[in-house]
Amino acid sequence: MSRLQAEHLYKVFGRRPEDAAARLEAGADRDELRAEGTTAAVIDASIEVDEGQIFVVMGLSGSGKSTLLRMLNGLLEPTAGTVRFDGQDLTSLSDKELRKVRSEKISMVFQHFALFPHRSVLENAAYGLEVQGVPRAERERRATEALELTGLKGWEKSWPDELSGGMQQRVGLARALATNADLLLMDESFSALDPLIRRDVQDQLLELQKTLKKTIVFITHDLNEAMRLGDKIAVMRDGRIVQIGSAEDILVTPANDYVASFTQDVDRTRVLTAGAIMAEVGTVLGSTTPDGKKLGTGAEFRAAAPATVGVDTPLVELFTPCSTSTVPVAVTDANGDLVGAVAAERLLAVLGEPADQDATPGVPAQAAAADGTAARLDKKPAEDGPVDDKPEDKVIAGA
């Protein structure tokens, strides 16, 4: 069930924003407005976030992510468009009503989570409840629970500066969880952390999410983070959402060259699963193996297949079976029923998928994407780009 919906949101900063939004709607271009000193930060953005979902908004610095997020909780008023949370149109609420929704149902976790240095970890975690006017005993009980959930049991009486960066960020998460808000808005919440600590906090969030099932909008400029956390990912560019889909959708069918070049460094073998690339069982049935076995039925195919894997099995685990047999790997669903087949050619084709259809077959995407868009991405300041843990790919991209 969808809990949060934004429809045709626009945010324009500068003179006569409504006029500018109307012009954008009529097809005017962002650069045209910029030349007049007006910034179109978000243009015609529509999203739908389901209950219990982690919805990631990803894009380079300046693409409009934070502006979009601030409109979702009413901190910024949209120039045009609507935001609905639990069916309630936030754009129509009075300031007072909005503040109430914000303090009771929505929590924000920022990148640089400001902890009060002279308050204990417990008092920091209880801060959101204090603002809501929750009595001390109850807020301490709830903050204690939230700290336990985020793995900080035993640190309640410590001071913030006794905690590592990752632990401090978890206090921030605990503060958001303690309020019982159903909607968490997280703006680059993990971006300031070292890579290892960051992975740790990501795991923590995924683990918590299994039981808490919050509705989360998570902003990041890091594609790998987006792929790890996102049930759904929206890719933003220059104020517009250019694609919304699962990590697999974005990798397998990028909406355009920009998205394709953005995703070129992702390790597909770990993100993509057998279920995302499998062919129908029917494509195998009726064939005969080189040693003369007829694959007439699903059972015969399963018996001849080099391996049977689940739909969620990452591709990295398919290489070995695919290399040992000409019969495709069998894929089964959660009930163990046969639902598909992955042949070696398909596996290789997906991993070497060219970014544009005219590119030479077999040439990896990163080489094929070395056009204007790729060059543009390369020019971004290093700290704003997706974390690049495979510098050798950059060399290929620039070649």
Ligand X SMILES: Nc1ncnc2c1ncn2[C@@H]1O[C@H](COP(=O)(O)OP(=O)(O)O)[C@@H](O)[C@H]1O
> Which chain residues interact with ligand X by CB under 6 A?
13, 39, 41, 59, 61-67
Least distance to Mg ion, CB of residue 66, Å: 3
Q: Give the closest residue to 179 by CA, choosing from 241, 113, 133.
A: 133
- Alpha carbon distance 189, 180 (integer Å): 19
| Phi, psi angles (nearest 5°) of residue 226 | -60, -45
**Cβ–Cβ under 8 Å, residues 183 and 107:** yes
Q: Which is nearer to ligand X, 13 or 319 (CB)?
A: 13
- Alpha carbon distance 179, 181 (integer Å): 5
> For residue 388, which amino acid is it?
D
Least distance to ligand X, CB of residue 287, Å: 50
| Phi, psi angles (nearest 5°) of residue 187 | -105, 100
Neighbours of 45 (CB within 10 A): 25
Q: Which is nearer to Mg ion, 62 or 364 (CB)?
A: 62
Least distance to Mg ion, CB of residue 219, Å: 7
Asked if residue 66 binds Mg ion (CB under 5 A), the reply is yes
Query: Using the 8-state DSSP alphabet, how is residue 336 labeled?
Result: S
Q: Which is nearer to ligand X, 39 or 180 (CB)?
A: 39
Structure tokens at 281: 């069982």
Asked if residue 189 binds Mg ion (CB under 5 A), the reply is no
Q: Which is nearer to ligand X, 63 or 215 (CB)?
A: 63
With b meaning 16 or more CB within 10 Å and e meaning fewer, what string describes 316-347?
Answer: ebbeebbeebebbbbbbeeeeebbbbbbbebb
Binding mask 85-124 for Mg ion (x = CB under 5 A): ----------------------------------------
Contact partner, 105, from ligand X, Mg ion, none, Cβ < 5-8 Å per class: none
Least distance to ligand X, CB of residue 36, Å: 14
Q: Which is nearer to Mg ion, 144 or 220 (CB)?
A: 220
Contact partner, 62, from ligand X, Mg ion, none, Cβ < 5-8 Å per class: ligand X
Contact partner, 41, from Mg ion, ligand X, none, Cβ < 5-8 Å per class: ligand X
Least distance to ligand X, CB of residue 390, Å: 24
| Number of residues binding to Mg ion, judged by CB under 5 A | 1
- Alpha carbon distance 194, 197 (integer Å): 5
Strand order in the sheet with 308-310: 308-310, 329-332, 338-342
Least distance to ligand X, CB of residue 331, Å: 38
The answer for residues whose C-beta is within 8 angstroms of residue 60's C-beta and 6 or more apart is 221, 237, 377, 380, 384, 385
Contact partner, 39, from Mg ion, ligand X, none, Cβ < 5-8 Å per class: ligand X
SS3 340: strand
Least distance to Mg ion, CB of residue 222, Å: 12
Contact partner, 275, from ligand X, Mg ion, none, Cβ < 5-8 Å per class: none
Q: Which is nearer to Mg ion, 66 or 202 (CB)?
A: 66
Single out the segment in contact with Mg ion by CB under 5 A; choices: 33-41, 65-73, 276-284, 293-301.
Answer: 65-73
- Alpha carbon distance 253, 248 (integer Å): 8
Least distance to ligand X, CB of residue 178, Å: 26
Q: Which is nearer to ligand X, 9 or 176 (CB)?
A: 9
Q: Which is nearer to ligand X, 39 or 326 (CB)?
A: 39
| Phi, psi angles (nearest 5°) of residue 66 | -65, -35
Which chain residues interact with Mg ion by CB under 5 A? 66
